[in-house]
Amino acid sequence: MAQIISGKEVALEIQQRLREEVAQLTVTPKLAIVQVGNREDSNVYIRMKRKFASDVGVLTDHILLPRTSNESEVIATVTSLNNDTSVHGIIVQLPFECDNKISTDKITNLVSPDKDVDGLSDLNAGKLLHGQIDGKSCFLPCTPNGCIELIKKSGIEIARTRSVVIGRSKIVGSPMAQLLLWHNSTVTIIHSHTKNPAALVREADIVVAAAGSPELVRGNWLKPGAVVIDCGITALPDPNKKSGQRLVGDVAFAECKDIAKAITPVPGGVGPMTVAMLISNTVDAAKRHLKNTSG
């Protein structure tokens, strides 16, 4: 049976490291979280982010705008945070829940590049496409960067592997493929127009599933010994559960765990890493701020 890579445990290791780093700083890092509306899933994610931040000594400022807000109000909020030198990182919690039309693209790209700790702006993405993955000149997007940490935990050497990324979203698939590429893996990007994805997955040493399609990757899709990272999370109805539902990923875990060399569970795999990398980016942003303002 495969090594189960616990994102929860790796996130705790990162938490410990960050706590020590923050204690050494002459400034307290601060993350601003902008939310429009009151989606319950957003509330859950924001609670997790604030909890992790608080545990390592990072301040958070949760700016909650009503669903009656308009675009110019959101623009004013982000602009004011860009100009606030006490704020080191800014994230915009997506999706917006709003009565008015707000351009996600415009707001995401409004966040100042030196505070874009989600790493979702076009400028950040361009640096990634251009191979700047040292995390010094840009912020690596949180979920893909967390996946890289988990892949490393499996013990595999990424360079010279074959890998597949299933999905090409802005948040996960597209930046993930770039991170693997610049770690010198030979990457194939699989998407909804791909013929016979199973055959391609079967050639891969590393499989990152980020399609948002429950249990898409079956046991017989895998090359024996592959490292499998599951970014999917979908709630399926399950009358046997007290909650009435169970969470599943993009990978059929029960089938795959006997074939993979290492695999992430859902929940407790990629999810906690996304939060950890966000707070890690925030601490980095504060450090860069100190470096740029000192001397």
Residue from 87, 102, 189, 227 in contact with a second copy (CB under 8 A): 189
Report the C-alpha gap between 31 and 8 in whole angstroms.
22
Smaller CB separation from a second copy, 63 or 129 = 129
Using the contact rule CB under 8 A, the part of the chain among 3-11, 94-102, 178-186, 263-271 near a second copy is 178-186
Picking from 188, 263, 189, the residue whose alpha carbon sits closest to that of residue 219 is 263
Question: Which is the catalytic residue, given 8, 30, 49, 136?
Answer: 49
Q: Does 195 bind a second copy (CB under 8 A)?
A: yes
**How many other CB atoms are found less than 10 A from the CB of residue 66?**
12
Smaller CB separation from a second copy, 99 or 105 = 105
Residue from 80, 184, 220, 245 in contact with a second copy (CB under 8 A): 184
Residue from 193, 239, 292, 294 in contact with a second copy (CB under 8 A): 193
Q: Compute CA distances 250 → 158, 216, 228, 244, 269, whole Å.
A: 22, 5, 10, 20, 12
Picking from 134, 186, 188, the residue whose alpha carbon sits closest to that of residue 159 is 186
Q: Compute CA distances 139 → 75, 245, 284, 285, whole Å.
A: 22, 35, 9, 9
Phi, psi values for residue 166, rounded to 5° = -100, 110
What track of x and - describes contact with a second copy for positions 124 through 143 (by CB under 8 A)?
xxxxxxxx------------
Q: Does 200 bind a second copy (CB under 8 A)?
A: yes
Residue from 15, 42, 174, 282 in contact with a second copy (CB under 8 A): 174
Picking from 104, 110, 247, 226, the residue whose alpha carbon sits closest to that of residue 171 is 104
* Contacting a second copy within 151-170 (CB under 8 A): 159-160, 162, 168, 170
Instruction: Enumerate the β-bridge partners of residue 52.
Output: none
Smaller CB separation from a second copy, 128 or 226 = 128
Instruction: Enumerate the β-bridge partners of residue 32.
Output: 61, 90
Residue from 5, 46, 102, 190 in contact with a second copy (CB under 8 A): 190
Smaller CB separation from a second copy, 3 or 132 = 132
DSSP state string for 3-62: EE--HHHHHHHHHHHHHHHHHH-SS--EEEEEEES--HHHHHHHHHHHHHHHHHT-EEEE
Smaller CB separation from a second copy, 58 or 151 = 151
What track of x and - describes contact with a second copy for positions 41 through 80 (by CB under 8 A)?
----------------------------------------
* Contacting a second copy within 84-123 (CB under 8 A): 121-123
170 assigned to active site? no
| Site residues, a second copy (CB under 8 A) | 121-131, 159-160, 162, 168, 170, 174-175, 178, 181, 184-191, 193-195, 200
What residues are labeled active site?
49
